[in-house]
Chain A
Amino acid sequence: MSAQDVQDWIGKQVAGNDVVLFMKGTKAMPQCGFSMQVAQILQHLGVDFKDINVLEDISVREGVKAYSKWPTIPQLYVKGEFIGGCDIVREMFQAGELEELLTAKGVAHNKQALTA
């Protein structure tokens, strides 16, 4: 794939799935602690998400960094919008903002336990 094809492919994934996580490894078998944290947060919230393993394709690994102008993996997208990497997702989760965002965007999820 050309660089432009990769950008188009990423755009399609992000547009065609409510929640997409570009990660190292898969949600069943993460290969990096940061990717694992975000996958666990989403699973904890009962969010159905598409995992894309960037380790399977170097062009996607580099392409998604260009797509979002964000230098690291993981990267979380909700309804086409780039939300952030591990630090931001964890901060939002701890502050209850991630759940608010999911509710605002109409993404099905569990209610977060109030006792963290």
Chain B
Amino acid sequence: MGMAAEDIARMIKESFPDAEVRIEDLTGDGNHYAATVISEAFRGKSRVQQHQMVYDALKGNMGGVLHALALKTATP
């Protein structure tokens, strides 16, 4: 179970090619991550919309194999 940090970063990058993505493994168990995603794509979007865009990029893994991803989104 769980996902590798590189896989999370890669999936996010595929949807947001311009993004600066930082992934931190909070507990070292491959299950609890914090992610910061900075992309122009978020400009003008609400926080809920920004997070939904990242969840879409993770294609159903969020809330499934990926239990805990503390997410922070921002524009450059």
Please tell me if the beta carbons of B70 and A87 are within 8 angstroms of each other in the complex.
yes
Q: Inside 8 A of A67's CB, which chain B residues have their CB?
A: none
Question: Any chain B CB within 8 A of the CB of A88?
Answer: yes
Q: Inside 8 A of A87's CB, which chain B residues have their CB?
A: 51, 70-72
Q: How many A-B residue pairs have CB under 8 A?
A: 31
Question: Any chain A CB within 8 A of the CB of B5?
Answer: no
The count of residues in chain A whose C-beta lies closer than 8 Å to any C-beta of chain B is: 15
Interface locus among A12-20, A39-47, A69-77, A104-112: A69-77
Contact mask for chain A residues 67-92; partner B; CB cutoff 8 A; 1 contact, 0 none: 00111100000000011111110011
16 other A-B residue contacts (CB within 8 Å) besides A70-B51, A88-B51: A65-B63, A69-B52, A70-B48, A71-B62, A72-B62, A72-B63, A82-B48, A83-B48, A84-B48, A86-B70, A87-B51, A87-B71, A87-B72, A88-B48, A91-B47, A92-B47
Closest 5 CB pairs of A and B: A71-B63, A71-B62, A72-B63, A88-B47, A87-B71
